[in-house]
Chains A and B, each alone.
Chain A
Amino acid sequence: MSLELQLLLLAWGTLVGLDLVSVPQMMIARPLVAGPIAGAMLGDVGTGLQLGVLFELFQYDILPMGATRYPEYGPATVAAVSAAHAAAGTLGLGLGALVGLITGMAGGLSLHALRQLNTRAVRRAAAALESGDARVLERLHVASILRDAVRAAVVTALGLVLALVARTYLAGALPPHGVALLNVAAVGAALAAGAVGTLRLVGRGPSLRWFAAGVVGGTVVACLR
């Protein structure tokens, strides 16, 4: 993969990471968007769509509320697509999922670290903030957004390095049935996480019946295809 493509993925991963919390929260951070666009950059929309769908299911396991800690699957999906694209025909989904999940975990940890850095910056500026200094307020805000951009870039870069390592050392190391097992594990975990996450949202109220109706309808359509 060329350096230009890697830099393009790094830029996309940074935008995706910024979108998650800081700006503008228009959901390009959703794996379903981050993956296919990364795939399109690599000329492999199919792999991008598959990994986008896979990580979107993992995303259903997360409710991004308040101070909760959660993995960051946007830049993770970009890294996953990079890993799976380079290993096309050998490891595919399984290798992408492995790289993506590790990157997602690192992304979650980095968000916690960023929030701690922001907290320290706010404490340092407390006196100016209490005096109503609008310039300090704005500077503090912009600095935090820039910090998040650096964080997102670092997480994406880490993911892309992981992808490089994975395709260099893992691609070809597993026999075909090992590859199939890896794919089964990735898809199985994603479907289980997606189903459980959705049921937690749905709860035991009247929406449960609508969920059951949807599952039946979806199954019928899947069988008819």
Chain B
Amino acid sequence: MSPSPRPTRARPKLVRTLLRLFTVQGSWNYERMQGIGVGVAEEPLLRDLRAEGGSDGVAYRTAVARGAHFFNAHPYLCGLAVGAAARAEHDGVPPEQVERLRTALCGPLGSLGDRLVWAGWLPFTSALALIGVALGLGLPAILGFIVVYNVGHVALRWWALRAGWTYGAGVAQALREPLLQRATALSGPAMALVVGAALPLVAQYLSSALVGWARLALAGVVAGGFALLWWQRARLTGLRLGLALLALAALAGWLWP
């Protein structure tokens, strides 16, 4: 990251902002989406502007107002936009350019976070825990999941905030970092391999109490349910399939002599 002069005593403010970023989706709404949470997280980094904008703090207040405008991206990567926008405000970047920077970051940060976390790190670590439970590890597998997942989670949030604060308006450079590119490329195959391995083991674990005809019926239900969910994906969800099957099973069990 390119070293450049920063406002004084930045680290405590970055830590305060990081803590606030853990609540970034707390006020999620259909109008500004994460905007309010992003504004709240950015505010500690803007306090230096109180001195710069005169006694009425115009620079600070306009920056706070901009910070709370519409924003939507992956929650773990919001820090990148928060840091970059705050730094751009300090660097005297024109307001319309700060707005454009925030808008331009929504899509890439959303897409990157979805691939890296929702479709990568989260199912990968969760599937490892599923395998652990299926192999009889019990609660330690769950605790391992929480610790390992959150090491990656907190590291990603901290990296994003620091990268945004370091690069400011040139934050696009941070998204081209080789480590990030490699992690994104690896996360898909790694997730696929581990979740693939977890499914048969979990099937065995959950069906262990079933005997005889029930196991055969289970195979039929899984195959039929899979086909229905796959071909009716626009209308059918796992929840609806589950409720429908449970209702059918209860009725059949009631009528069975």
Task: Identify the A interface with B (CB < 8 A).
Answer: 21-28, 30, 32-33, 36-37, 40, 45, 49-50, 52-54, 56-58, 60-67, 71, 92-94, 97-98, 101-102, 104-105, 108, 115-116, 118-119, 121-123, 129-134, 137-138, 140-142, 144-145, 148, 174-175, 177-202, 205-208, 210-215, 217-219, 221-222, 225
Is B104's CB within 8 Å of the partner chain A? no
Inter-chain residue pair count (beta carbon < 8 A): 338
Query: When A40-B139, A192-B225, A196-B229 are in contact, do A207 and B188 touch as well, CB less than 8 Å?
Result: yes
Q: Contact check, A184 vs B197: say whether CB atoms are below 8 A apart.
A: no
Q: Which residues of A contact B27 (CB under 8 A)?
A: 118, 122, 140-141, 144-145
The distance in angstroms between the C-alpha atoms of A33 and B63, with both chains bound, is 40
Further 18 A-B residue pairs, CB within 8 A, beyond A22-B23, A36-B139, A175-B256: A23-B26, A24-B23, A25-B25, A32-B133, A45-B139, A56-B130, A61-B229, A93-B206, A118-B28, A132-B60, A140-B27, A140-B36, A177-B256, A188-B218, A189-B245, A217-B197, A221-B200, A222-B204
Task: From B1-9, B79-87, B158-166, B234-242, give the one contacting chain A.
Answer: B234-242
CB distance from B208 to the nearest CB of A (A): 9
Task: Report the minimal beta-carbon distance from A194 to chain B, rounded to whole angstroms.
Answer: 6
A145 touches B210 (CB 8 A): no
Main secondary structure of the interface of B (DSSP, over half): helix
Interface residue count on the B side (C-beta < 8 Å): 97
Looking at the complex, which one of A102, A138, A192, A221 makes contact with B243 (CB distance below 8 Å)? Answer: A102
Smallest CB separation, B13 vs chain A (Å): 14
